[in-house]
Amino acid sequence: MRKMMCVALTGAVTAGLAMSSMAAEVIKIGGIGPTTGPAAIYGSNVQNAMEIAVEEVNAEGGDIQFELQFEDDQHDPETSVNAYNSLKDWGMQILGGTVTTNPCIAVGSEAVSDNMFMLTPSASSQDVISIGDNVFQVCFTDPNQGRASADYISEMELGSKIGIIYNSSDAYSTGILNTFLAEAQEKNLEVVANEAFTDDNSTDLTTQVQACKDAGADLIFLPIYYTPASQILKAANDMGYETKFFGVDGMDGILSVEGFDTSLAEGVMLLTPFVATSTDDLTVAFVKAYQDKTGDIPNQFAADAYDVVKVLYKACTEAGVTADMSASDICEALKAVITSDGFSYDGLTGESMTWDASGAVSKDPRGMVIQDGVYQPMD
């Protein structure tokens, strides 16, 4: 057995060595995200959407052609760095990733030392873009979402006693919570209950809902993804607790959860850049393409990922990027273009999106409310 193991190992090493970069005709885009494990839904949505976008780009038949390679990271920083290294061996020139925040921070510093241009669809923490000047986001930065939500609630006078249920083991959720609390204090919003859960104790969320109910919260802020949110809505309904719910972009997708009773989500408000039921041409075409490919309805991760590829396409075109350029040269060219005054992009997740040197995107969140099982603009 020992011998066999040794042989297997040497084989593995040589297999790794045999891989070498090949002649470039197309620009190689890498993607990283969880396609296995508990967070797999986010990574698979991103992967599918990126594939769709790349097909569209290539079908246009322009000078710029993309080739996409997507690697799984199981939402684990170590595996994510491994995936990044694999992609580098493959010859990746631009990274469209990574999907989740903690892995993105680990990969980000690798990308900084390689000077690899990195545009993440969905790793929304402030800490992601502060790693280096080559890291950009398509999604809102968490602090902006937290602030915008508090402002919105205060302006529209949606609630006077705020309850919060958030995921304390999730970087996205804690990031939004932090600025929400700060801004709520500023705007004199009264936070009566601030309840957390973790990935490990999220089987039962009724206690948190009960705590909000007992504290008399008339609006519950949910800076979390739609899966636990659907559980919270059900728990509140079972308890006969009538309150308003206010979510962030992670809430999108709740209406397309298979088997979910959408009447529970009636009246839920959320700030989101994308809803799959929008009737504009771009969204309709994208949702159709996505459904044709996978049979599912895309969530906001997919929309962000689609925009990642399209932004890269636009930026590459404007910067005159060619396939024979090195990753570092491409990075410099893209950085210059994407932060330039004239550059703006209209996509699924926002119109006239622009970027500044910090790497954060500037776009308007849309306030949405769920009525009769569909999203309606709030104002």
Partner 1 sequence: MQFLSYLARGISLGSVYALIALGYTMVYGIAKMLNFAHGDVIMVGGYVVFFTFCKGGIHPVLAIIIAMGACTLLGITIERVAYRPLRGASSLSVLITAIGVSYFLQNGAMLLWKSDPKSFTSVVKLKPLVLFGGQLQISAESIVTILVSVVIMIVLIWFVQYTKPGHAMQAVSEDRGAAQLMGINVNGIISMTFAIGSALAAVAGALLLSSYPTLIPTTGAMPGIKAFVAAVFGGIGSIPGAFLGGILLGIIENLSKAYISTQLSDAVVFLVLIVVLLVKPTGLLGRKTTVKV
Partner 2 sequence: MAGRKKMKKSTRSNLMTFGFVIAFWALIEIVRMTGHMTAKIGGLLIPVCAYVVMAISLNLVVGFLGELSLGHAAFMSAGAFAGIYFYTTAGAALPQWLAVLIAFLIGGAAAGIFGVLVGIPVLRLSGDYLAIVTLASGEILKNVLGAMYIGSDSRGLHFSLKDQFSLGMEPDGKMLLKGAMGIMGIKKFSVFTVGIVLILITLIFVTNLMNSRAGRAITAIRDDEIAARATGINLTKYKLMAFVSAAVFAGFAGVLYALNYSSLVADKFDYNLSINVLVMVVLGGMGNVLGGIIAAIILTVLPEMLRGFSQYRMFIYSIVLIVMMLFNQAPAFVSWRKRFMMRFRKKAPVSGKEGI
State the residues that interact with partner 1 by CB under 8 A.
35-38, 40-41, 44, 168-169, 195-208, 210-211, 214, 227-228, 230-231, 234, 238-240, 257-261, 296
The distance of closest approach from Cβ of residue 51 to partner 2 in the complex, given in angstroms and rounded to an integer, is 12
Longest dimension (CA), the chain: 71
- Which among 262, 257, 202 is positioned nearest to 226, based on CA atoms? 257
171's contact among partner 1, partner 2, none, with CB below 5 to 8 A by partner kind, is partner 2
Comparison of 82 and 169: residue with beta carbon closer to partner 1: 169
296's contact among partner 1, partner 2, none, with CB below 5 to 8 A by partner kind, is partner 1
Comparison of 207 and 326: residue with beta carbon closer to partner 1: 207
Give CA–CA dist 97/120, Å, rounded.
4
Residues 138, 307 contacting (CB under 8 angstroms):
yes
Q: How many C-beta atoms lie closer than 10 Å to residue 251's C-beta? A: 27
- Which among 283, 272, 308, 349 is positioned nearest to 98, based on CA atoms? 308
Give CA–CA dist 140/300, Å, rounded.
12
The distance of closest approach from Cβ of residue 314 to partner 2 in the complex, given in angstroms and rounded to an integer, is 28
Comparison of 69 and 294: residue with beta carbon closer to partner 1: 294
54's contact among partner 1, partner 2, none, with CB below 5 to 8 A by partner kind, is none
Give CA–CA dist 106/85, Å, rounded.
12
259: left (phi over 0), alpha (psi -120 to 50) or beta: left
Comparison of 89 and 242: residue with beta carbon closer to partner 2: 89
* H/E run at residue 109: helix 101-114
17's contact among partner 2, partner 1, none, with CB below 5 to 8 A by partner kind, is partner 2
156's contact among partner 2, partner 1, none, with CB below 5 to 8 A by partner kind, is none
Comparison of 66 and 375: residue with beta carbon closer to partner 2: 66
- Three-state DSSP at 110 gives helix
Residue numbers at the binding site for partner 2 (CB under 8 A)? 1-2, 5-6, 8-9, 12-13, 15-17, 19, 35-37, 70-72, 74, 76-79, 81-86, 88-89, 101-102, 105-106, 108-110, 125, 127, 131, 168-171, 174, 177-178, 181-182, 194, 196, 198-200
Comparison of 92 and 232: residue with beta carbon closer to partner 2: 92
The distance of closest approach from Cβ of residue 84 to partner 2 in the complex, given in angstroms and rounded to an integer, is 8
Residue 292 burial by CB count (10 A; 0-12/13-18/19+): exposed, middle or buried? exposed
Give CA–CA dist 91/27, Å, rounded.
9
